Amino acid sequence: MFIEHTNIIFYIITYLICSIPFGLVYTKAFTDVDLLSLGSGSIGATNVLRVLKQDNHPLAKKLGALTLASDLLKILILLIVAKYGFNLGENALWFMSFIAILGHCYSIFLSFEGGKGVATFFGISIFMMPIETIVGLVVWGVLAKTLKISSISSLLSVGSILLLLYFFNFSNISSLVPMVLIYAIIFGKHIPNIMRLFNNEEKAVI
C-alpha cells in the first residue's frame, strides 16, 4: 500500500513539475517577449532561441540553453530521486516518463497547451536508455549540422532511439509501449512543423 501511494504521489508531482513552462518563465523574467504569440508559439528551447535571435536579443543563446537544460533536468532529477531515493520499479519509472511528456506538452498551467517534448524526452532517455541516447544524440548532431532544421532533426533522433529500443529490447513491453506513446505525442506536436516543411516555411534555427 505504501509503494502504491508513493507511486501515485510521484505521478502527480511529475505532471505538475513537468508542466512548468520554463521557456515562458525565463522569457517573461528577462525580456518583454511574448513567447506564446511569436515564432511557433511553443514554450521550448527552439522557439526561445528562434524568437530572441530574430529580435537580436543578447540573451537568445543563454535563455535557449537554460530552457533546454531545465526541460531536460526536470524529469531526469525526478527519475533519479524516484529510483534511488524511493526504490520505484521500472514500470513506475516508465509511467512517470509518459506523464512527464504529457505534462510538458499539455501543461495544466497553459490550459493544456505546451511544448514539443523533445528536451524532456532526452531527460528520460538519458536515464532509461543511456546507450540508445548516445546514438540518438549523434543522429541529432549530424542532422542538425547538415539540415539546420530543429524539428526534423529532433523527430528522426527520437525515432532512432525508438528503433534501437525495438531491435535490441523488443521483448520488453514495459519500455516499448510507453516509448511508442511518447513518440506519438512528440510526433503529433510536430505536425505543424511538418506542414511548414512541406510548404517550405520552416525556418532554420540551429
The tens digit of pLDDT for each residue in 2-52 reads: 456 889 999 999 999 999 999 999 999 999 888 898 888 889 999 999 899
Beta bridge partners of 107: 113
What is the arithmetic mean of pLDDT over 115-128? 96
Residue 176 has pLDDT above 90, yes or no: no
Place of cell 499539455: 106
Asked whether the predicted pLDDT for residue 205 surpasses 90, the reply is: no
- Residue 1: its pLDDT value, please? 47
What CA–CA distances, in Å, run from 162 to 71, 143, 179, 200? 20, 17, 7, 28
Please give the model's pTM, rounded to 2 decimal places: 0.91
CA 67 to CA 19: how far, in whole Å? Answer: 13
